[in-house]
Amino acid sequence: QVQLVESGGGLVQAGRSLRLTCVASGRTDTLYAMTWFRQAPGKEREFVSGTRLKSGETYYSDSVKGRFTMTRDNRKKTVYLQMDNLKSDDAATYYCAADPEIYYGIRHEQSYAHWGRGTQVTVSS
């Protein structure tokens, strides 16, 4: 089993920054990718950013490209999401996900068997 724990959420003013952290534990040696999704109230969960752990190849949604940066520390089994120039639309619960196969592709939540509980990001204007 794999456990994922997110941290770093909070209340921030629009235009400011936050850094989210996701730490994986358990059978992490099997993981192929780790990804961030988010879900705002009344909306579906959406892909934010994902990375292939061995190659480091990283993907972003159009809505965050250029503002968010995802990095990884494989030794620490940790991924980070640096979120700059936050907007009100970025307010959501952010979830970390991971999987050994990514059967449906890195952007699709159905690909992920392992999920964290989420960390809340609130953006004030």
Mean pLDDT per segment of 10 residues, for the chain of length 125 residues?
97 98 95 97 97 96 98 95 98 97 94 97 96
Cα torsion through 108, 110, 114, 120, rounded to 10:
60
Q: What are phi and psi of 63, to 5 degrees?
A: -70, -20
- Copy the structure tokens of residue 96: 């970390």
pLDDT of residue 20: 98
Q: What is the pLDDT of residue 85?
A: 98
The pLDDT value recorded for residue 33 is 96
CA atoms within 13 A on the CB side of 19: 9
